[in-house]
Structure 1
Amino acid sequence: MNKTKVLVVDDSKVQRNHVIELCRQQGVINIESAENGQVALDMLTANQFDLVFIDLEMPVMDGVELVSQIAERKLVGAVIILSSKDPSLILSIGTMAESDGLSVVGTFQKPMKEEDLAISLNRMTNDFVKVSKKIVNEELTKEDLLRAMVNREITLYYQPKLTVKGLLLKGVEALSRWPHPERGMISPVQFIDAAERFGVISQLTEYLFDIALHEKKQWQERGLNFHLSLNLSPLSLADQHLAERIFNQVQRYNIAPKDVVLEVTENALSGEVSKAIQTLATLRLKGFNLAIDDYGTGFANAQQLSRVPSTELKLDRILVDNVSTNPHQQAILKSTVALSKDLQLTTVAEGVEYLDDYKFIYQLDVDLVQGYYFAKPMAPSDLIDWIKHELGEHRKAIQRELSS
């Protein structure tokens, strides 16, 4: 029996009863209801609830104000937003709620469907078992970064990239990690930002590339020849000698440039456009593949895509997460994949954490998939064990889910 405590907020008694009945069918029996936002707010202030269903159109206090109040007062962790209005409006309110710190496990047009509720409850359960740890570090200095590279403290973990159809290992993305001997794990966001501010980002890039290429060479010697994805800072693209130095690095390890994917964010051309295009074009001419990373988080458009000589488009998790339960998001993802196909780009859905999202992506003819549902970033030795012992079993389990 599901012990989740639920509050259903809707001014329509028919709609309240419909959601309550769906919840009972899913084994949720601890359910209360409210006919408007003010009543709901009073109930949430007096009692603890796990999940709130919120209708947007209500008298006294509408759902938009209720969501804002819940987030501001931190009254509940998870919400499901319902409305008979346009899906784009519902999604916008969901985005607002998430930006305010709420877990939005579903945004739906009314009436809600049984399968949508089942997916949302499953997603909420998974979200609740995740532990978010924020590590506060002292301000980094340039000397800290240089010392870390000399001592080889900064290292790389690798996250698999699988074919959507067949779940075959196509490549891995190298992700930087810094387990500081005294400060603990330092966030990549923090030390990469520091490297950019102190003007040592190219030095850090080459340092990390050397680690990754060394690992790839060892994998090749063991008969494992999948591609290697590495991230480039947009600031590095202004360095007119970067392409030549990267090319010399892969030559030293006798690795073909075609087996390396260099990832740049979609705002890569926001700085010195001419120099950035020159660097990217030179890399393509030397045989490297180029991926536009985090697509969907900024303001890239078809013109921007045409200016970057890319071979791959990585669909950010903002387009992927919850797509199975969000019709508006589904339409955006479909059109983005179609555009990618027209531009002859390999598509990669990243940040996939749920089976239902993977099932939707599977139907879209996306090429590759990456995310915690399949594998977390892992150390090189763990990656080998995962390939040997876990990949096959994971593939069989997922294929059983797809056929059921």
Structure 2
Amino acid sequence: MKSVISELSVLVTDDSLTQRQYAMDLCQELGVQALFDAANGVDALDVLDTNSVDVVLIDLEMPIMDGVELIRSIAQKKLNSSVIILSAKDPILIASVGTMAEADGLHVLGTFQKPLLPDALECSLLRFIQDTKVAAEPKKSNDTEVTALELSHALANNELTLAFQPKLTVHGLLLRGVEALARWRHPAKGMISPVVFIELAERHGMIDALTHFLLEEAFKHKRTWQQYGLRFHLAFNLSPLSLADSDMVDWLCKMAEKYGIAPAEITFEVTENALLGELASAIRTLARLRLKGFHIAIDDYGTGFANAQQLSRVPATELKIDRSLVHRAAARPQQRTILASTIDLAKNLNLTTVAEGVETAEDFKILYDLGVDLVQGYYFSKPLFADDLLNWVKNDLSQLRRQQEQK
């Protein structure tokens, strides 16, 4: 780790000589060689004007120019993009300044209450290295324009398919289910983002046809897995418009019977948007699904102000915690507190908790410690096409378990 961190340049900004020296000593112990220091915001700007600095540690309480002013100046002058924010003040204030910094376009590696702990600093610096690598990777365009006519042809020509992302138990990493995710491989334009074509289907009255096609495909795969002796759950996202379809529940029951699938092994995921239209109609559909034995998950929990109200409206069995609450909770104490309270709330309501978007070992450890039931994300597996999923179950899953046992 030290050899990787040694390549970084760090500026420590703190008006307290004792605190400044302490932070610099921590950096040196981690192997940082290019090390600068400043006693206030003005001095820090002078350092940044004349030196290339990767990470700036910023104390909020400083004379002449405080940390908040320094952060704004760094953002406006585009002098540096990665900061670690420190203060002896309460965590809520520190987290709020972190939010401000991110809104200004800065890369916030962590917001910590003093004293800065060695592990927190090391994780933050390693995070900078990892995020720099990710940012350097070429980005694939997800905004390819397609028309409703092209989507209609795609449905007719079987261009649409599904990928499946595993959902694993936190303890033991046992496969408990998969989430079905729509995919469109356009013959000329390549992979089309589901954000694009699902919204297109909703706008042009094609969402029912798309949902029926993909659900039947999902049921076919589920039957095949059962024939192999694999009885994990299948999760599928329902559009808010599908909840207004009065025939949807009866059709789903027929499909489950046709393919020999127990409704209790199917989970339908709905988002906050599902309840923004015809509320009575949406609740009616969800209630009937539960009565028939299907499971209901509240998806993307943590992304909207109305989510807590959903828990009293939706007959849910599962709560999916959004990536925005999960990612980097270890570096943001306030976020960790919200995450912990969300998990406790779900437990008190007898809801299974699923954390999505788990991307790092750090994220997984927090979720393990807080007692989440299930996890999914790129740290374990990207979404896989059906054949690849079987290979992953046979080969990669056991290797993943061994790696976790060694940590």
Q: 1:114 aligns with which of 98, 118, 138?
A: 118
Q: Distance in 2 between matches of 1:327 and 1:223?
A: 43
Q: Distance in 2 between matches of 1:31 and 1:188?
A: 45
Distance 1:365 1:104, change over 3 A: same
Deviations 1:3-62 (A, max 9, x none): 011122223222222211111111111111223333333433443322221222333433
TM (normalized to structure 1)? 0.93
Distance 1:180 1:163, change over 3 A: same
Q: How does 1:127-276 map to 2 (within 5 A)?
A: 127-130=131-134, 131=137, 133-135=139-141, 137-276=143-282
SS at match of 1:80: strand
User: What is the letter of the counterpart of residue 110 of structure 1?
Assistant: K
Q: Distance in 2 between matches of 1:72 and 1:189?
A: 33
Q: 1:338 aligns with which of 330, 333, 344?
A: 344
Q: Is the CA contact 1:10–1:58 (under 8 Å) kept in the aligned structure 2? A: yes
Q: Distance in 1 between matches of 2:93 and 2:63?
A: 18
Q: 2:388 aligns with which of 362, 382, 392?
A: 382
Q: Is the CA contact 1:157–1:177 (under 8 Å) kept in the aligned structure 2? A: yes
User: What is the letter of the counterpart of residue 93 of structure 1?
Assistant: V
Deviations 1:93-141 (A, max 9, x none): 2233334443322110111001111222222222222236151645332
State the partner residue of 1:329: 335
Q: 2:24 aligns with which of 4, 20, 28?
A: 20
SS at match of 1:3: coil
Is 1:278 the counterpart of 2:267? The answer is: no
State the partner residue of 1:34: 38
Deviation at 1:369, TM superposition (A): 0.9
Q: Is the CA contact 1:156–1:379 (under 8 Å) kept in the aligned structure 2? A: yes
The answer to which of 242-251 and 314-323 deviates more is 242-251
| Superposition misfits of 4+ residues, deviation over 4 angstroms | none
SS at match of 2:47: helix
Is 1:348 the counterpart of 2:354? The answer is: yes
Give the alignment's Cα RMSD to 1 decimal. Answer: 1.9
Q: Distance in 2 between matches of 1:255 and 1:73?
A: 59
Q: Distance in 1 between matches of 2:76 and 2:385?
A: 39
The answer to which of 9-18 and 344-353 deviates more is 9-18
The answer to which of 146-155 and 58-67 deviates more is 58-67
Give identity over the alignment, percent: 55
State the partner residue of 2:9: 5
Q: How many aligned residue pairs are there? A: 401
The answer to which of 176-185 and 93-102 deviates more is 93-102
User: What is the letter of the counterpart of residue 260 of structure 2?
Assistant: N
Distance 1:134 1:62, change over 3 A: farther
SS at match of 2:390: helix
The answer to which of 165-174 and 74-83 deviates more is 74-83
Q: Is the CA contact 1:16–1:33 (under 8 Å) kept in the aligned structure 2? A: yes
Q: 1:44 aligns with which of 24, 45, 48?
A: 48
State the partner residue of 2:61: 57
Q: Distance in 1 between matches of 2:154 and 2:72?
A: 43
Deviation at 1:339, TM superposition (A): 0.8
Distance 1:73 1:378, change over 3 A: farther
Q: Is the CA contact 2:144–2:192 (under 8 Å) kept in the aligned structure 1? A: no
User: What is the letter of the counterpart of residue 64 of structure 1?
Assistant: V
SS at match of 2:275: coil
Structure 1: state its 5+ residue gaps. Answer: none
Q: Is the CA contact 1:10–1:36 (under 8 Å) kept in the aligned structure 2? A: yes
Q: Distance in 1 between matches of 2:77 and 2:378?
A: 31
Q: Is the CA contact 1:267–1:300 (under 8 Å) kept in the aligned structure 2? A: no
Deviations 1:238-286 (A, max 9, x none): 2222222222222222211111111011342122110110111111111
User: What is the letter of the counterpart of residue 133 of structure 2?
Assistant: V
Is 1:96 the counterpart of 2:100? The answer is: yes
Q: Distance in 2 between matches of 1:196 and 1:292?
A: 20
SS at match of 1:313: strand
Q: Is the CA contact 1:7–1:49 (under 8 Å) kept in the aligned structure 2? A: yes
Distance 1:53 1:380, change over 3 A: same
SS at match of 1:360: helix
Q: Is the CA contact 1:267–1:298 (under 8 Å) kept in the aligned structure 2? A: no
Distance 1:232 1:44, change over 3 A: farther
Q: Is the CA contact 2:142–2:193 (under 8 Å) kept in the aligned structure 1? A: no
TM (normalized to structure 2)? 0.93
Structure 2: state its 5+ residue gaps. Answer: none
State the partner residue of 1:314: 320
